[in-house]
Structure 1
């Protein structure tokens, strides 16, 4: 059993300087483990990098899989998803992933509720999927009673959180930089905050684009923690 950032009552922060790329069982596919409970079949949050011409055998996903394509083009069952696509596949789904030219993706495994059934495919590069004001634009990705996942674009100086986090929050910085009392977080930083926390994070002079999931870390909604 591997336990990595497995105490969800504590902050967990990994910056690009902390990245440790390790091989997966499939040649050409490697990952940075962000949090993990389990061995190879684990409740896991990771960055995954496919070398050009990498192919992963077809496999199923108990507990579901959530993917955000960060760079390159991710191919699933012959369908191409360039950077910016969000893919959510429920419990029991299966696929054959690959990448002709290489890709890096953000992946969450075994973290969906058993009653979630609807696959999601969203192109976050399509302006029609965004709403809000210039200082804070939002691209909704998924929402139910347990969790909400969005992309947000913040204008310089805007603060992310203004109230305590009832169900915790998880953030992956895609573009820009964030400021905090303890320092700065650059592009690629992953931050996880427990319920009740209220981190003082603001967008720096370049603004910020980030993935944000909230609500999923409260004891009542946390899924897959015993896998």
Structure 2
């Protein structure tokens, strides 16, 4: 399967067009934003929903795994990750994920370089120190490398960001609230990726929290 993996195109999956689809595991569903490969993927970006007491069999993340919990508590043998916790499990890591009471996560698979193969990185974004600007906008650096610049950005109501343009494709996921991204309205759980060198204009009438990744991570052939 190839879905939204042409990084030279601007693409989006607005909230109103999203539908959860079943996975091979009972009680686990997903919304696909980008995907390359079948059940053993080379690359994927999705929202995954676990019903109470559901689980995925133990599996290896050959290209690493990155996720942030959107609701509920996501768990594996290494710990519990409530809403707002951001995790990077390194290349070749293994786990058996599950959820006791149900949860949703935003997750990216197969996008880490081979050098990111040591230990997991865990950050509770609800307790971390955000960098605040004079206009009330706040940001939190999640990860920075030669392959990506990943942040959370918190926009108060009425925010208008200066026009930006990046040499790499830039990805957005709306954690809460809503934004206007260029000519498109994006509500909570909407996803978009803007092609390289395209102007980016963002404003938020009622406030929002965004996940933003500049760069497409490590791309496997």
- TM-score tier by shorter-chain length is over 0.9
* Aligned-partner Cα distance in 1 for 2:2–2:148: 23
**Residue of structure 2 in register with 1:66 after alignment:** 66
Q: 1:183 to 1:148 in 2, by over 3 A?
A: closer
Unaligned residue ranges in structure 2 (runs of 5+): none
Q: 1:180 to 1:44 in 2, by over 3 A?
A: closer
**Residue of structure 1 in register with 2:29 after alignment:** 30
**Residue of structure 2 in register with 1:94 after alignment:** 94
Unaligned residue ranges in structure 1 (runs of 5+): none
| Cα RMSD, aligned residues only | 1.6
Contact 1:51 1:101 in 2 (8 A): yes
* Aligned-partner Cα distance in 2 for 1:80–1:55: 13
Give TM-score, length-normalised by structure 1.
0.91
Deviates further, 114-123 or 83-92: 114-123
Q: 1:108 offset after TM fit, Å?
A: 0.4
CA-to-partner distance for each residue in 1:182-217, whole Å, 9 max, x for gaps? 24211111011111112222122x21101111122x
Q: Where do residues 179-218 of structure 1 align in structure 2 (5 Å cutoff)?
A: 179-204=180-205, 206-216=206-216
CA-to-partner distance for each residue in 1:22-54, whole Å, 9 max, x for gaps? 111111101011111111111111110000001
* Aligned-partner Cα distance in 2 for 1:179–1:56: 36
Give TM-score, length-normalised by structure 2.
0.93
Runs of 4+ aligned structure 1 residues displaced above 3 Å come to none
Q: Secondary structure at the match of 1:129?
A: coil
